[in-house]
Amino acid sequence: MPNLLNRFHLAGLLVAASSIHGVASPAQSNLLRLIPREAQLVAGVEDPRNPDTRGHLLLVTARNTFDFDDWQSLTGVDPHRAVDEQIWVAASSPESRLGEHMLLVAGLFDRGHIFAAAERNGATAKVYRGVEVLAVTPFAREQEQMPDTRWIAILDGRTAVFGTPWLVKKTLDRYVDHAAADPLLADRVGRLNPKVNSWDLILTPHAAFSKHAALEKQSAPWMDLLGREMLENAEELTLGIRFGTIARVDFIVRTADDSNASGAAAHRPIAETSAVPASNQLASPRLEDISNAPNLTVGTIALPGKQLYACFKFASCGESATALHSAQ
């Protein structure tokens, strides 16, 4: 897993992800059934409906961010576009390790209007298993960074799929076959607090990645908050972000053996508490509701919302301590 983290990109931290209207729990999402079982990285945004929300923590690949920007451009011609939920997916194929990427969007879309505009701009129509898709070549502004041709499909006017053909085909297979959500994915998403504003799942075989590369090279907010010791042996990581005056980062760390996510948690330099003070004077991150089981550590880190915002803004919750305090 750690080597994978080198390729993550903190996306959408300070920018709202277009007009979002829904308020359902991630576990109730109709998009889950469309996510292929090959997914290694899944990140979602729910409707915050929260004046304290400053953005979203999304652990996605750099090419996932192009999908989001380009999807906004492609669908911007629809004046009635409405968005309820967005999920980013990345996976490895036989041709590329973590090179497949896709965006799923639930909402309301004028398929005819969007497709007609895209075809006028060079997109070409195809049919896959009875579903019409458009093949979209890379935009001129991004050809060097993102050379992939992508497919876009709009299902029943309520679900948009945009990504590399390898992933989109697997998603359309699930749609046509009326597949249920993958049990592993459903289990992990079901563990999220229903009130999260954004969430992330890292699901990847331990043997596929070296153990220390990203931990040694990359400074990132989730590493500073959770501690490198806890992540060192992790095979899977689940994060759920709940914004507010006091923000909460819910985490689930799963290891290949019981070697020591729990031991690392016990030695975190974060004060553990069973409850966060009612006042806003929480001076530093605190651990809440820590529980340990073989191969599994679950808990919540509570900290002032402005401090969490600053963690994301400065991409560090450790070395930028002065900046963190000045941001409050």
Same domain, 170 and 274: no
Pick from 294, 247, 292, 299: which is nearest to 272 by CA? 299
Same domain, 227 and 176: no
Kindly give, in sequence order, each residue whose CB lies less than 8 Å from that of residue 207, ignoring residues fewer than 6 positions away: none
Pick from 160, 138, 41, 137: which is nearest to 92 by CA? 41
Which structure tokens are listed for 317? 């919750």
- What pLDDT was estimated at residue 60? 80
Same domain, 104 and 11: yes
Which structure tokens are listed for 288? 């809440």
- State the Cα–Cα distance between residues 316 and 153, nearest whole angstrom: 37
Same domain, 155 and 300: no
Same domain, 238 and 167: no
- What pLDDT was estimated at residue 225? 64
Same domain, 248 and 168: no
- What pLDDT was estimated at residue 61? 81
Q: Would you say residue 196 lies in a domain?
A: no
Distances (CA, A) of 113 to 79, 127, 149, 157: 10, 18, 21, 11
Find out whether 202 and 4 touch, Cβ atoms under 8 Å.
Answer: yes
Q: Is 170 helix (H, G, I), strand (E, B) or coil?
A: helix
Q: Would you say residue 207 lies in a domain?
A: no
> What's the pTM?
0.80
How far, in whole angstroms, is CA 251 from its chain's centroid?
Answer: 13
- What pLDDT was estimated at residue 296? 84
Pick from 225, 236, 316, 307: which is nearest to 264 by CA? 225
Q: Would you say residue 209 lies in a domain?
A: no
Q: Would you say residue 195 lies in a domain?
A: no
Q: Is 97 helix (H, G, I), strand (E, B) or coil?
A: strand
Kindly give, in sequence order, each residue whose CB lies less than 8 Å from that of residue 98, ignoring residues fewer than 6 positions away: 4, 7, 40, 41, 61, 90, 91, 92
- State the Cα–Cα distance between residues 125 and 153, nearest whole angstrom: 10
Pick from 312, 256, 249: which is nearest to 286 by CA? 249
In this structure, what DSSP letter does residue 54 have? Answer: -
Q: Would you say residue 193 lies in a domain?
A: no
Same domain, 240 and 299: yes
Same domain, 293 and 145: no
Q: Would you say residue 110 lies in a domain?
A: yes
- Looking up tokens 């999260």 gives 196
Q: Would you say residue 306 lies in a domain?
A: yes
- Looking up tokens 């308020």 gives 23
- What pLDDT was estimated at residue 118? 95
Distances (CA, A) of 1 to 11, 135, 209, 255, 314: 19, 32, 6, 10, 23
Same domain, 153 and 223: no
Find out whether 1 and 209 touch, Cβ atoms under 8 Å.
Answer: yes
Determine the number of helices (DSSP H) and then strands (DSSP E) in the chain.
11, 15
328 residues of the chain, pLDDT tens digit each: 444 344 445 444 433 444 445 556 888 899 999 999 999 999 998 764 445 455 566 778 888 888 988 998 999 999 989 888 899 999 988 887 888 999 999 999 999 999 999 999 999 999 999 999 999 998 878 777 788 899 999 999 999 999 999 999 999 999 999 999 999 999 999 989 888 888 989 887 443 433 333 333 344 555 666 666 666 677 888 889 888 888 888 988 888 765 544 444 444 444 444 343 444 444 567 888 888 888 888 888 888 887 777 776 655 565 433 333 333 3
- State the Cα–Cα distance between residues 239 and 199, nearest whole angstrom: 5
183, 210, 240 — which closes off a domain?
183
In terms of Cβ atoms closer than 10 Å to its own Cβ (0-12, 13-18, 19+), residue 143 is exposed
Q: How many domains does the chain have?
A: 2
Q: Would you say residue 197 lies in a domain?
A: no
- What pLDDT was estimated at residue 318? 55
Find out whether 203 and 41 touch, Cβ atoms under 8 Å.
Answer: yes
164, 183, 202 — which closes off a domain?
183
- State the Cα–Cα distance between residues 31 and 27, nearest whole angstrom: 10
Same domain, 119 and 179: yes
Same domain, 27 and 148: yes
Find out whether 312 and 13 touch, Cβ atoms under 8 Å.
Answer: yes
Q: Is 327 helix (H, G, I), strand (E, B) or coil?
A: helix
Q: Is 60 helix (H, G, I), strand (E, B) or coil?
A: strand
Same domain, 33 and 137: yes
Print the domain residue range for 263. Answer: 219-327
- What pLDDT was estimated at residue 10? 46
